[in-house]
Amino acid sequence: MSDHAFHLTAHDVRAQEFQKVLRGYDPTQVDEFKQRLAEEIDRLVRERVQLDERVRSMSEQLKSYRDRERAMNEALVSAQQLRSEAQQQVDREREVSLREVQADAERVMREAAVERDRLLQQARTDEQRLKSANEAARAQFQGYVVSLRQLLERQLAELSALGGDQNSRSPTRSEEG
């Protein structure tokens, strides 16, 4: 018999009547068996309803989990794309910053070279001025020494003229000290 051909319910079992025959089964035992069979069918039907409800609930839960999984996978893919795009953006910004820093470094190097050249030129000019000033100071010193010598010689000549031969003699070093 196929499952669809014969459906037995607890009510069917309780309502079933048997013909009484001689030497048949004990009606009390048959009634008790029918009662137990009906109760077992009721229990199985209730259990099946509960199991069907659990299957339906679990199917809904499974569908919910699958939806969540799909959403999480989509979110993961989006996050990966976002991370990739962010990394590309960071790379682009880093390249732009690097080019700007290199341009600034080159500009600073050019400015430093110009300043170095200016300072070297100024140092050469200052060195020439110092040499000229040093030569002028040396010439002035030489002129001062010559003037002082001339003054001293005149003074000695005057002393010699005033004091005669005795004073004309120049003092020695031992006499000065």
At residue 8 the predicted structure's pLDDT band, cuts being 50, 70 and 90, is confident
**Segments in the chain forming alpha helices (H):** 10-15, 27-168, 173-176
Q: Within 10 A of 38 (CB to CB), how many other CB atoms are there?
A: 19
| CA dist list (Å): 124 to 111, 117, 119, 134, 135 | 20, 10, 8, 15, 16
Domain membership flag for residue 171: no
Which range (4-13, 95-104, 143-152) has the least confidence? 4-13
Domain membership flag for residue 172: no
**DSSP 8-class letter at 27:** H
pLDDT digits (tens, 9 = 90+) for 121-155: 999 999 999 999 999 999 999 999 999 999 999 99
Q: Which amino acid is at 45?
A: V
Give the closest residue to 41 by CA, choosing from 14, 72, 10.
Answer: 10
Tokens for 15?
């309502």
| CA dist list (Å): 89 to 41, 93, 101 | 70, 6, 18
Provide the pLDDT for residue 1. Answer: 39
Q: Are 79 and 46 in contact (CB under 8 A)?
A: no
Number of domains within the chain: 1
Domain membership flag for residue 41: yes
Range of the domain at 87: 10-160
pLDDT digits (tens, 9 = 90+) for 44-84: 999 999 999 999 999 999 999 999 999 999 999 999 999 99
Domain membership flag for residue 167: no
Provide the pLDDT for residue 169. Answer: 53
Q: Which pTM does this prediction carry?
A: 0.41
Domain membership flag for residue 5: no
Q: Are 13 and 34 in contact (CB under 8 A)?
A: yes
Domain membership flag for residue 89: yes
pLDDT higher than 70, residue 171: no
**DSSP 8-class letter at 4:** T
